Amino acid sequence: MNESEMENRGSKSDLSKKSVKEQRVDGSWLLNKTANPKRSLRCTLMGFERNYQVKILTNQLLNKFYSTNSTNINPWFITGFSDAEGSFIISISRNETSRLKWRVSAYFSIHVHKKDLLLLNLIQKTLGVGIVRNNNENTVLFRVSSIKELQIIMKHFKNYPLVSAKYSDFLLFEQCLELIKNREHLTEEGLLKIVSLKANLNKGLSKELLEAFPNIKAEDRPEYKFNGIPNPSWVSGFASGDSSFSISIENATTRIGKRVRLIYETCLHIREKDLLIGISKYFNSLYLESNEDNRKIPVYCNERTNIALLQIKNTTDIFNKVIPFFTEYPILGIKSKDFKDFKIVAELVKNREHLTEEGLNKIIKIVNNMNLDRKWK
């Protein structure tokens, strides 16, 4: 199995593979680079940090960011990050030495850019299972593959359940794992059962498996229903994987001819629309006296491209909801640097320095030294 193919990304939009890959590697999402020609500069803050392993010491991160004890990440954060970046994988590959000529394996993995190696190490240390290793030149992988250790993973997600549509993958994976535990995958009946379950797991069956099992009937995919946000640390975990903090500098009728806009956004497959609406309402429930908000929920759907976008760009919401929330429940990993710079720009805007040429140049300098232009090695 080639894990770099990322067959697990069931909760993302599959319509733009390049964009999805950029999102998971760079932590950013640009919905349509040509959608708004008035934007003279738009940069999603990336936080590539020079000398990353040297400057960001483990103890500094632990003391500053982690909310459980001195060595562990909040378990709800791990679930949120797994909803964004985790994978439940059943691999079925040819094996001519076995009786059935097929080998069945089960994995749980989290696959990210190598700049977040430290975060994976801390997740592995918190869970106490699995290994962290290089996957290729640019990415690293946390993987749990032994049946014994997978039981610990399953217990974690029983105690701290997944919130996204990935929960349906978890339930299918659980059925497959039970068959493997009981060694039923070594029988023809058990193998066919696993193939039928895999048909609706993640992206389904490969071309090779479809040709090898042409008469297989796919098991029904468990129905997914969004049931609310369980914990604020889930949001910070999910945002650490799937959200972006961005700055847009646009043409405007101001004295200096520019406007600075701060944007918090998350883009997913349209099936996750209710999840994105739930996140927006969750911010409101924490930071408004009433749960009712007269403003329109900032979630936009495109049925043609099958994507849903949560985009918070109202200045009041950025200052009164987004920044206070992620200050109290921090983003972890390299994206924490994105949020740090996001707050620096927000302070400049709050002080109206963006309306001066000097202040605007400060913001442009911050933007120009982020994203892929910043060296972090």
Q: Is residue 175 part of a domain?
A: no
pLDDT in tens, 30-46: 344 333 333 333 333 33
**Residue 262 forms part of a structural domain:** yes
- For residue 325 the two structure tokens come to 């929330």
Q: What CA dihedral angle connects 306, 299, 250 and 341, to 10 degrees?
A: -100
**Distance between CA atoms of 371 and 334, rounded to whole angstroms?**
12
Query: Percentage of residues in the chain with pLDDT exceeding 90?
Result: 64
Q: For 103, phi and psi rounded to 5 degrees?
A: -115, 135
Whether 348 maps to a domain, the answer reads yes
Q: What is the pLDDT of residue 95?
A: 94
Phi, psi of 24 (to 5 degrees): -75, -30
Query: Hey, what amino acid is at 142?
Result: F
Burial class (CB in 10 A: 0-12, 13-18, 19+), 61: middle
CA-to-CA distance for 74 and 233, rounded, in angstroms?
7
* Cβ neighbours for 368, distance < 8 A, ≥ 6 positions apart: 43
Output the domain CATH number for residue 368: 3.10.28.10
CB 218: neighbour CB atoms within 10 A?
14
Domain count, the chain: 1
Q: 316 lies in a domain?
A: yes
pLDDT digits (tens, 9 = 90+) for 121-143: 999 999 999 999 998 988 999 99
- Find the range with the poorest average confidence among 7-11, 84-88, 168-172, 231-235: 7-11
Domain of residue 268, residue span = 232-373
Kindly report the backbone phi and psi dihedral angles of residue 298, in degrees, each rounded to the nearest multiple of 5, phi listed first: -80, 55
- 99 lies in some domain: no
Inform me whether the pLDDT recorded for 246 exceeds 50.
yes
CB 330 within 8 A of CB 336: yes
The pLDDT tens digits for 270-325 are 999 999 999 999 998 887 654 455 567 899 999 999 999 999 999 999 999 999 99
Bridge partners (DSSP) of residue 367 are: none
Residue 35 located in a structural domain: no
C-alpha–C-alpha distance, residues 286 and 293, integer Å = 12
Query: Is 355 part of any domain?
Result: yes
Residue 352 pLDDT greater than 80, yes or no: yes
What are the CA-CA distances from residue 91 to residues 19, 158, 206, 298 (Å)?
A: 26, 23, 10, 39
- How far apart are the C-alpha atoms of 64 and 161, rounded to whole Å? 26
Is 371 in contact with 28 (CB distance < 8 Å)? Answer: yes
The yes-or-no verdict on residue 2 having pLDDT over 70 is no
Decide if 42 is inside a domain: no
Instruction: Yes or no: say if 123 and 117 are a contact pair by the CB < 8 Å rule.
Output: no
Over residues 137-191, the pLDDT tens digits come to 889 999 999 999 999 999 999 999 999 999 999 999 999 999 999 999 999 999 9
What pLDDT does residue 223 have? Answer: 92
Which pairing describes strands 39-44 and 131-134: parallel, antiparallel, or unpaired? unpaired
